[in-house]
């Protein structure tokens, strides 16, 4: 039987308490005893490049903080070499040795503004974000401005705008409804007082025609939005109503300091004279009441307290002699204005009835 070569016994297994494999740690083991893998060449080159970048940034930062050095050295002919020499001295004074290539990189980075942050213009979203961030500065003043503006607006609307609108609405309602109704009422009331023999435009007094003319003028003014003219027509109609209801006496004015008569020289007849007695209409209590009188000179009508009525020269002279006797007129009544009529009636022989309103 052939003997078979014997295989050596395998190495005994590592005890359970043996150290963990490299690069791994075991629970309870100290981190200081853990071995680290050796740095790879690529990692070393990356670290060196990073260090160069950091060193260049430091150079740039040093140059920025020493602006006088930069300005002075750049003014010389050999600016880059001068800056590098000056930087070498600065770092040497701090005990730092910086290679020239790093210094040159720093100077070049400064010239290229490589590490300068240039803020880009903010867009709409950026502006909104900045406004929101700074809201503590502008929100309260803006709210105060808005509040003041709202208060002023409300005060204007309440104190000025709203009253003006209400006044305009009242004026429009008055022109459309109130004044036409008032004009109609005043016309009807005045026409009801017109005497039978004076009714109509062809009557001896023409009261009805004058009333209708005033009413038509008032309605037209109200339709045109002229409130003043419409109110003037209404006052005229009410004046007619008051005149028609009164029985008045026409007498010559005879008071101290007031003239009782005047004369005029017509412009178309220089050799002639027109004589007028100054008269007034008084009620039973002696109170003078104004009447609407038409001037024969320009055909205008006006409510006056006294006016001049044209009379013959003989009547004028008789009244003048009566007053010159004792400054008192014994016979001062020359006519009357009966109720139901608007125009006076004169009792003087030969009275022409023409009137003047100024003298």
> Of 159 and 260, which is predicted with more confidence?
260
Do 335 and 250 touch, CB atoms closer than 8 A? yes
Largest CA-CA distance found in the chain, in angstroms, rounded: 203
Classify 301 as helix, strand or coil.
strand
Nearest 5°: CA angle at 247, between 244 and 250? 110
Per-residue model confidence (pLDDT) at position 301: 92
How much is the pTM?
0.54
Mean local confidence (pLDDT), 187-202: 76
Write out the two tokens for 43.
């990692």
Is the predicted pLDDT of residue 53 greater than 90, yes or no?
Answer: no
What integer pLDDT is reported at residue 70 of this predicted model? 56
Q: Are 179 and 231 in contact (CB under 8 A)?
A: yes
Pick from 7-11, 13-17, 58-62, 295-299 the range whose average pLDDT is largest.
295-299
Q: What does the alpha-carbon distance between residue 231 and residue 166 come to, in Å, rounded to a whole number?
A: 20
Domain residues of the chain, as ranges?
Answer: 44-112, 176-244, 248-356
């Amino acid at each position: 039987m052939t003997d078979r070569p014997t295989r050596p016994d395998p190495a005994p297994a590592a005890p359970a308490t043996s150290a963990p494999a490299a690069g791994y740690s075991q629970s309870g083991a100290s981190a200081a005893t853990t071995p680290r893998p050796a740095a790879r060449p690529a990692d070393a080159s990356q670290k060196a490049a990073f260090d160069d970048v950091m060193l260049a940034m430091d150079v740039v930062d040093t140059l920025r903080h020493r602006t006088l050095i930069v300005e002075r050295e750049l003014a010389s002919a050999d600016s880059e070499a001068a800056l590098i020499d000056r930087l070498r001295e600065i770092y040497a004074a701090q005990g730092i040795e910086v290679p020239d290539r790093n210094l040159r990189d720093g100077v070049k980075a400064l010239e290229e503004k490589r590490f300068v942050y240039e803020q880009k213009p903010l867009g709409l979203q950026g502006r909104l974000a900045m406004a929101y961030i700074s809201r503590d500065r502008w929100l309260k003043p803006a709210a105060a401005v808005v509040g003041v503006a709202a208060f002023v607006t409300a005060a204007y609307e309440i104190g000025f705008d709203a009253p003006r609108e209400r006044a305009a609405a009242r004026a429009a309602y008055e022109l459309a409804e109130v004044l036409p109704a008032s004009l109609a009422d005043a016309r009807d009331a005045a026409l009801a007082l017109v005497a039978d023999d004076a009714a109509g435009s062809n009557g001896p007094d023409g009261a009805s025609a004058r009333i209708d003319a005033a009413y038509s003028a008032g309605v037209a003014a109200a339709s045109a939005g002229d409130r003043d003219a419409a109110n003037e027509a209404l006052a005229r109609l009410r004046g007619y109503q008051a005149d028609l209801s009164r029985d008045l006496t026409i007498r010559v004015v005879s008071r101290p300091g007031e003239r009782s008569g005047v004369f005029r020289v017509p412009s178309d007849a220089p050799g002639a004279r027109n004589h007028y007695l100054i008269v007034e209409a008084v009620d039973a209590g002696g109170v003078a009441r104004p009447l609407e009188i038409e001037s024969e000179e320009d055909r205008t009508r006006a409510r006056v307290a006294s006016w001049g009525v044209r009379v013959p020269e003989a009547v004028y002279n008789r009244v003048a002699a009566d007053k010159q006797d004792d400054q008192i007129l014994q016979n001062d009544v020359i006519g009357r204005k009966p109720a139901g009529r608007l125009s006076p009636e004169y009792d003087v022989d030969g009275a022409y009835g023409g009137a003047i309103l100024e003298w």
